Amino acid sequence: MPEEPEVLTAEETAALLRVSTKTVLALARSGSLPGEMIGCAWHVARSDVLGFARLTTAEENETDDQDCGAPSEPNGAEDGC
């Protein structure tokens, strides 16, 4: 089994995160995803990609767990928001 590279290209990062290369480039340019411009291409450490994915997933789960603020049904049942 081939060893996985420690540094990924934007395309490899996109495949790992299951997003478009355009999204990876935007995240890298904004600083949301740590990366380095080497020549004319972005490169990202695999550990940074995995950390970004964990952080993003944790934030999404935290948002999903918060109450949406809608009143509950009179019988106490949730309305499914």
Rounded Cα distance between 36 and 13, Å, is 13
Secondary structure class of 7 (helix, strand, coil): strand
Burial class (CB in 10 A: 0-12, 13-18, 19+), 39: exposed
Q: What is the pLDDT of residues 1-48, one digit of tens each?
A: 667 789 999 999 999 999 999 999 999 999 999 999 999 999 999 999
The predicted model scores a pTM of: 0.69
Please give the span between the terminal C-alpha atoms of the chain, in angstroms, as a whole number: 45
Q: Is 4 helix (H, G, I), strand (E, B) or coil?
A: coil
Which one-letter amino acid corresponds to residue 41? A
